[in-house]
Homo-oligomer: A and B are copies of this chain.
Amino acid sequence: MASPSTSSDSPSTTRGTTPGSTPGTLGVWFLGARGSLATTATIGLGALAARLTDETGCVTGHPDLDPRGLASWADIVVGGHDVDTVPLAKQAERLVAGGVVPGILAERVAGELEATEARLRPGVRAGEATDQRAVVEQLAGDIREFAAGVDRVVVIDVSSTEAPHDAGADAATWADLEAAWAAGRAPLSPSSTYACAALLAGAPYVAFTPSPGIDVPALLELAADRGLPYAGSDGKTGETLVKSALAPMFSTRALAVRSWTSINLLGGGDGSTLADPAARESKTGTKRSGLESMLGHDVPGPMHIDYVEDLGDWKTAWDHVRFDGFLGTRMTMQFTWEGCDSALAAPLVLDLARLTGRAVAAGETGALAALGFFFKSPLGSQEHRLAQQWDTLLAWSRECADRVSP
């Protein structure tokens, strides 16, 4: 990561990476680095690098996806922010006990966890910031320090989902934001604070959560100004994933979906966060958006996310679809999905890091719409159909690969 802009006073157009450069070390900076997902990704990365596990679940390992120019697993380094202080090793133990990570793997990568531990920095909580500009600078400083040791950094938000937050007129433009800060106001939610810090540190930002993050006018302006790409939002790993495969079936077969009920049971840190109605609202929002777009009309039906402590990181989703066929015949389909959320999401955040890192090298800027395949609420795209997203991802991947490894 050659020359991150060191001044946060105003967006500038410098960008440290040259299209066509060969990949070197890639730094992944996790927001929420001590969470289930980040810890699973960190352990998994260690296991991949040491060839202790195969690439199951890794989209960038798919034979149809052009790998030229992607950082190799062994060249990826993890750091990050978290507000919690529980050691990564403890989190790893919890994941082993919960059946998410095999005990033997956790043992074998204990050294890498320790090394990562040393690269974690304290994060910032909602409401804590008295001087938000100073906080942003502090966070950006952490990222820059990390960037100094690697060739390129990608910042990925895998922290707890925030409640919906409206930054309002104070974040309408970058100038407004600077004015608000100057007046002692703190309009940004924590996720946006981090997004701002990432951009100021010259790093692309990926939102794996539905939190506001970069999706605030002032920050989009900053990203454009810095020529940095970004992607999001909210990883598509469970029943929304299945929906994006199934809904087009109903639609192309001209079957009339009358109701679609979605029940999600999960425990773990994410489940406990989503037990809070405000956070849940952010989530059900991104979950709903796709169905209507894929079916071409509004579809009634309850959608619940329920905290069931006992399930831990294992999510059980039950969906019930009522549809009409020819001559008004009433039919139903239902499915139950029993997946390990962290295991589903962890390889995807590693994929996003590799793909976004290469995208920077390929000179991509703005919303990376071709990454919609990974997200419930794709930034820069209205396409929710999984198969079409896949085709788009493959084509874009080839283009980027061509540019960085001609």
Contacts and interface: CB of A to CB of B under 8 A. Distances in A.
Interface residues of A, number: 74
A100 B62 CA distance: 32
B53 A328 contact: yes
Contacts of A44: 326-327
| Copies of this chain, count | 4
A383 to B, nearest CB: 12
A301 interface: yes
A331 B339 contact: yes
B254 A55 contact: yes
A284 to B, nearest CB: 14
A385 B59 CA distance: 18
Contacts of A56: 254-256, 324-328
A328 B99 CA distance: 10
Interface majority SS (helix, strand, loop, mixed), chain A: mixed
Interface in A46-72: 47, 53, 55-59, 61-62
Contact of A326 (B58, B322, B326): B58
Interface in A292-328: 300-302, 304, 306, 308-311, 316, 318, 320, 322, 324-328
Contact of A318 (B43, B249, B320): B320
Contact of A325 (B57, B316, B326, B373): B57
Contact of A62 (B252, B263, B334): B252
Interface string A258-273: 1101010100000000
Given A265-B302, A318-B318, A255 B308 contact: no
A390 B59 contact: no
Contacts of A309: 259, 300
A338 interface: yes
Interface string A265-283: 1000000000000000000
A333 B344 CA distance: 13
A315 to B, nearest CB: 10
B245 A241 contact: no
Given A53-B328, A302-B304, A335 B338 contact: no
A113 interface: no
A216 interface: no
Contacts of A318: 263, 318, 320, 334
Nearest to A267: B259
A290 interface: no
B339 A308 contact: no
16 contacts: A44-B326, A56-B326, A57-B255, A57-B327, A99-B99, A245-B248, A245-B249, A252-B387, A261-B263, A261-B308, A263-B263, A300-B309, A325-B344, A326-B346, A333-B335, A333-B337
